Amino acid sequence: MPRRTKLAPRKTPTQERSRATVDALVQATADLLVRDGYEKLTTNRVAERAGVNIASLYQFFPGKEALVAEVRRRHVEAQQVAMREAMTELRGQGLEATVRALVSMGVAAHAVNPKLHHALTEELPARVSRVGQPEEDPVLAEARKVFERLSVGVEDMERALWMVDTVAHAVIHRGVIERPGDLASGALTEELVTLLLRYLRRR
């Protein structure tokens, strides 16, 4: 079976009852992933926790990889929806306000169910952790519009967006794990905003 097929749901539920079954399976997967980790996760345990017959599980998902991929897809999607809505409110704002808002939104996104976020970013095999990452991040697309309007001091906008996204994600993600106190106090936010502004304002 091709790897992509293993990571994709078998079918999309159309009826309310089927959607409720899939939601229960995804939630059970997230709960078990946080509690016991990826290696101990099995389809039988997911079905039991969700109160779903194992045959019903296999109607929608070919295995645990597809279940976890769906958990990750929903997690990423929820974060992006919230950040995209906030980004639209920043139109017309200056560079510092935009960068500060982006960093603050990233911190807030990581603060929602941090144990699940840690499990999805630290414990999954690479083949699963890459699933659900869109080719065109709508948040970065909105940030591009802001940076272009403000004429930030970068030569390559695509590379600059990658730098901002990569640096911010790495600092916030490791801060959640290694320096939660600095993250909670806002110290890391201030340091990260300073770093990104110096990068974007250079000529």
Cβ neighbours, 10 Å, residue 135: 4
List the pLDDT tens digit at each of the 203 positions of the chain.
444 446 666 667 668 888 999 999 999 999 998 898 888 999 999 999 999 999 999 999 999 999 998 998 888 787 777 777 767 776 677 888 888 888 888 888 777 677 787 777 776 666 555 554 544 566 777 778 878 887 777 888 888 888 988 999 889 888 888 888 998 899 999 999 999 999 988 76
φ, ψ (nearest 5 deg) of residue 114: -60, -30
**pLDDT at residue 11, rounded to an integer:** 65
Q: Is the pTM for the entire model greater than 0.75?
A: no
**pLDDT at residue 25, rounded to an integer:** 95
Distance from C-alpha of 83 to C-alpha of 102, rounded to nearest angstrom: 8
The string of DSSP letters for the chain reads --HHHHHS-S----SHHHHHHHHHHHHHHHHHHHHH-STT--HHHHHHHHT--HHHHHHH-SSHHHHHHHHHHHHHHHHHHHHHHHHHTTTT--HHHHHHHHHHHHHHHHHSSHHHHHIIIIIS-HHHHTTT--SS-HHHHHHHHHHHHHT-S-S-HHHHHHHHHHHHHHHHHHHHHH-HHHHHHTHHHHHHHHHHHHHHH--
**pLDDT at residue 132, rounded to an integer:** 46
Angle at 63 between CA 59 and CA 65, to 5 degrees: 135
Give, in order, the Cα–Cα distances in Å from 37 to each of 18, 34, 173. Answer: 27, 6, 18
Domain boundaries, the chain: 4-65, 72-200
Cβ neighbours, 10 Å, residue 15: 8
What is 4-65's CATH number? 1.10.10.60
| Common-topology check for domains 4-65 and 72-200 | no
User: For domain 72-200, is the CATH number 1.10.357?
Assistant: yes
Distance from C-alpha of 65 to C-alpha of 7, rounded to nearest angstrom: 6
Radius of gyration of the chain (CA): 19
Tokens of 108: 């807030």
